[in-house]
Structure 1
C-alpha cells in the first residue's frame, strides 16, 4: 500500500457543514470525482470535528491506493445498498480512522479491499453490513479494531479478511456488543489470533451473542473467540448462543478478573491444529493468582473438539450447582471430545473444586458413574487437582429457574435504540 505521506489531502472546513458526496465533489473537485454514477476519492479525506459526511443514497465509492478517510466529526453511510471499495482491488485503500471525537454509522454497506477500520471513538454502530477481503492498513489488529466505549456491530458478514474480524488492545477497556454476525475464514494470514480477539470489557460488559463463527481447515492457528484480561482489568463477558465450528479452538477467557456467562453455544469440530498440547478446547479458561475468576457456563453443546472444557491455573467455572445461592442449571452436552484415544469432556487442571451438576457427559451411550468419571480428569486421577462434583448427571435434568433468568439490556445508556436478551422465551412488557 502507498505510504500515507505520499497522498495529497482535503479537510472539510470545520464550520458545521453536513455534506453529501455530491457536496464534496463541488467543494473538493481535486479530491473526489463522479463519473458514470461512481464516486472516486483520490486524496486523503479528513472530516473535521464540527462537520459531517452523510451517504444516504445507494451508491458506489471507489478509493485509490493508500488513501485514508479520517473522521473527527461524523460519518454516516446508511441507505439500501452502499459499496465502498478500492479503485483497484490489487491495491487496497488505507481504510478508515474514527477519532475519539467522532461518530460512525454504517448500515447496509459493503466494505472491501481496504486497510480496515480503526475505531478510537466509543460512538460507533454497524448493522447489516459486509466487510470482506480487507488487509492490514490503518487497522493493524483486525478488520475493525476498537479502543474504547461500547461500539455495536450487528447482523453483519465478515469473511476472508487478512486479519481477525474484531479486536481490542490488552490495555484498552471495550464493552462492545457483537450481535448476530456471520464470520468465516477471517485471519487469512493464519497468525495466532482468533476471529474475535477482544481485550477486557472493563467496567461495562463485553457481549458476544448470536454469532456464527466458521473456521477453515487450512487456518490451523486461528481460534474462534478470545476475551482476555492480561493486565488485571475487569473483564465481564456474556458469550451466548453462538455457533463456533471448525476453528483451532472455540472460546477462551483469560484473567483472574474475568466474570460472566457462557450459555447456549454450539461448539463443534474446533480441532484444526490437531495438537492437544497447543489448543483444541471447546472452552478454555485460564487465570493466575487468586481464584477470583467467576464464569458460569450452561446449556452449551460440545462435540468433536480435542477437549471439551479445560481449566488452567486458578481458573474457576460453575458448570451446574443446585445450591440456591450459587445456582447454575448445567445442561451442558458433551460428545466425542478427545485426543490420543482418550475422551476428555472436562479437564480440571486447577486445585479448585468445580461444581458441574446436571450435565450430559455422554450424549450417546450409557450414563453411569464409572462412564462419567472416565471423561472427567480431576482429583481422583491426579491428587493435586481439584475435585469435580458432577452428580447428579443426565441428559434431561436441566430445568431453567425463572427467578435467575434476568433479561440483559444493552447498550445502557443508549441513543434511542436498545436490545433485550433473555435466556428464556417469553413476553417483555415495557412501561413508559
Structure 2
C-alpha cells in the first residue's frame, strides 16, 4: 500500500507540473467560453469546436459548467484535471463530446480528484487513455465511453474509467469498444461503483486477459459494488471476460438482473471469506468465444478459498445457457480446498439461497453436457434448480462431482422444476361500455416473458387476443391490466385465461374467469338520439346466423335507407350506421330477420 500511495504522489506531482492553465480556486463558476477568454490561447474556439492545446486544471472550489452542446478537442498528452474539491458539471440539451484532435494519437483524458459534486450527463468521452477518478463519488448518467485506453502506457489509468478509492453512480451509460476494461479498480484499492442500466459491449479489443468490468476490493467496511440491469455482451477479443473480481481485501458485490453474453467467461470470483457476493437473476448465455474449456467458457467460475476460509457467495435465479460450463468450482492445493459457493440450500431459514437456477445447453468437447463441475473437495449445495431434465439419472449426467471422482466433493441436488410465475389473483369485469377489463397480479416471477390473454365463448376453445410483457424477474407484487375492447357476446358470456410464458418457452395456464352481460330482454337500440357520428348500437338475440335488415323511415313513412348487419346465432351487438336525414324529428327503424320483427323510434 505504501508503494501505491508513493506512486500516486509522484504521479500527482508530475501532473501538477504540466497544468498550463489553472483556474483561480476562489469558488467561481466558469463556462467553456470563459476558458477561451481567460486561458491565454490554451483554450480556443474555431467557430464549431473548442480546442484544448494544453492541460486545463479546475481548482479547489471552482466549477466548470458545460450546459450547452459542444465538441471539445484535446491535443496529445493533455487532459482536464478537476482537482481538490473542484466540480465539473456536464448537462447539455443534446450532447457534449470530449475527443482527441488526432484520434490516432489520442489524449490523456480526464482526472477527477476528491470531487463528490461532479455530474456528467450526455457526455461522449472518446480516444483518451482514461477517465481517472481518485477519492471521488460522482454521478455519471446517459454517457458514452468509447475507443479509450488509447495508449500502451497505463500510468494515467488502466480502464475507460479507472477507479482509486472511488464509488461513482453510473446509470444508463454505454461503454463500447474500449481497448482494455470499461471499469477498472485495483485489487487492493477500495472502490464500490454502482452500475445500473448500462451497456458494456466490445471492450477489451487489445486482447489482454482482463474482463469488461475488472474490480478488486470494495471497502474496509461493507460498501457494496452493484451491477444491476446491465448488458455485458460481445467482448472485444477472445481473451476478454465479462465481470471479474480478484480482490486483495474484502469484496461486497451484488450482480443482478443482467444479460451477460458473448464473453470468454461470464463472471469470475476469486477469494475466500473476503468475497461476499450475490449473483442473482442474470441471463448468462453463450460465454464461450475462446472455445477452450481449459481456460474459459464458464458462466460463473469460482476459485480461491481454503479449509478455513470459504466464499460467502450465493448464486440464485440465474439462467445458464450455451456456455462451455454452467458453473466451475476450482479447488487448490493437495486437498483441493476451494471457495464452496451456495447455489441452492433448502435446509436453512434463509430464502435468498433457494436455488432457482436454470441450466440449459452448457457443453464442451472435453466433458460434454456438464453444467456444473466441482473440481474441489468441498461439498456443494445445489438444491431447487432446473437442470434441463426431470429425472435423477439425467440430472446426474449434467454434474461432475464425487460420484465421478472420489477425491471431489459431493454436490447435493434434486430434480425440482421451478414455476416461472406465481399468480396472486386474476379477475375480469364488465365495463359500462360493455368491454371486458382484466386485472391480475403476481407475487413472484422467474424469467417470465409474457402473458398471452386468451378468450373463449364456451370455456373450451380459447384464442389469443393480446399479449402483455411480463416483468422478467421479480420478488415483489406486480400488477397488470388488459382491456378486451370487442368481446364476442354471442352466448352472453366471455371466458378468459392467461397463458404465462417464461424465457425458455415453458408456459402455464391461469384459472378461467367469466364475464357476463346482464340478461337481454327484447331488442335494444341506443342511444335514442342520433349522435353526430350517425352510429348507434343494436343488441338483440338471433335464433340463427343470418342477415338482419335495419330499414329507416321518416315520420311520414318515406323510406330513407337500409343497413344490413351480419348476426350470429345467440346474442349480438352490432354497430348500425344511420343514413343522413335532413329534417329534425323522429326516425323509425324497422328491424327484420328470421324470428326478429320490431320497430324502434330514434330522435334526429
Aligned to 1:335: 360
Runs of 4+ in 1 over 4 A off after TM superposition: 3-8, 397-400, 402-405
Measured against aligned partners, the alpha-carbon deviations of 1:345-365 in whole angstroms (never above 9, x if no partner) come to 111122222111111111xxx
Q: Which residue, 142, 156, 161 being the options, matches 1:128?
A: 142
Counterpart Cα distance in 2 of 1:359 and 1:173 = 34
Aligned to 2:123: 109
Counterpart Cα distance in 2 of 1:5 and 1:30 = 19
Residue 207 in 1 paired to residue 226 in 2? yes
Aligned to 2:475: 424
SS in 2 for 1:26: helix
Q: Which residue, 337, 346, 352 being the options, matches 2:378?
A: 352
Mapped contact 2:269–2:303 kept (Cα < 8 A): yes
Mapped contact 1:113–1:133 kept (Cα < 8 A): yes
Higher strand share: 2
Report deviation, 1:375.
0.7
Aligned to 1:274: 291
> How many residue pairs are counted as aligned between the two chains?
403
Report deviation, 1:368.
1.0
Deviates more, 1:33-42 or 1:250-259: 33-42
| Mapping for residues 132-151 of structure 1, pairs under 5 Å | 132-134=146-148, 135-136=150-151, 139-151=156-168
Unaligned runs of 5+ in 2: 1-13, 332-337, 424-441, 446-472, 479-604
Q: 1:6 to 1:351 in 2, by over 3 A?
A: same
Aligned to 1:374: 397
- Could you state the TM-score of these two structures normalised by the residue count of structure 2? 0.63
Aligned to 1:240: 256
Aligned to 2:72: 61
Measured against aligned partners, the alpha-carbon deviations of 1:293-318 in whole angstroms (never above 9, x if no partner) come to 11111111111111110112221222
Aligned to 2:172: 155
Report deviation, 1:121.
2.3
Mapped contact 1:291–1:316 kept (Cα < 8 A): no
Mapped contact 1:195–1:222 kept (Cα < 8 A): yes
Measured against aligned partners, the alpha-carbon deviations of 1:197-256 in whole angstroms (never above 9, x if no partner) come to 01122221111111111124x711100001222x2x111110001111111000011111
SS in 2 for 1:337: coil
Counterpart Cα distance in 2 of 1:376 and 1:395 = 19
Residue 74 in 1 paired to residue 114 in 2? no
Unaligned runs of 5+ in 1: 406-421, 428-432
Aligned to 1:408: none
Q: 1:149 to 1:88 in 2, by over 3 A?
A: closer
Report deviation, 1:102.
6.1
Aligned to 1:42: 53
Report deviation, 1:281.
0.3
Counterpart Cα distance in 2 of 1:261 and 1:398 = 22
Q: Which residue, 384, 391, 395 being the options, matches 2:414?
A: 391
Provide the aligned C-alpha RMSD in A.
2.5
Aligned to 2:330: 312
Aligned to 1:170: 187
Deviates more, 1:125-134 or 1:145-154: 145-154
Aligned to 2:526: none
Aligned to 1:228: 246
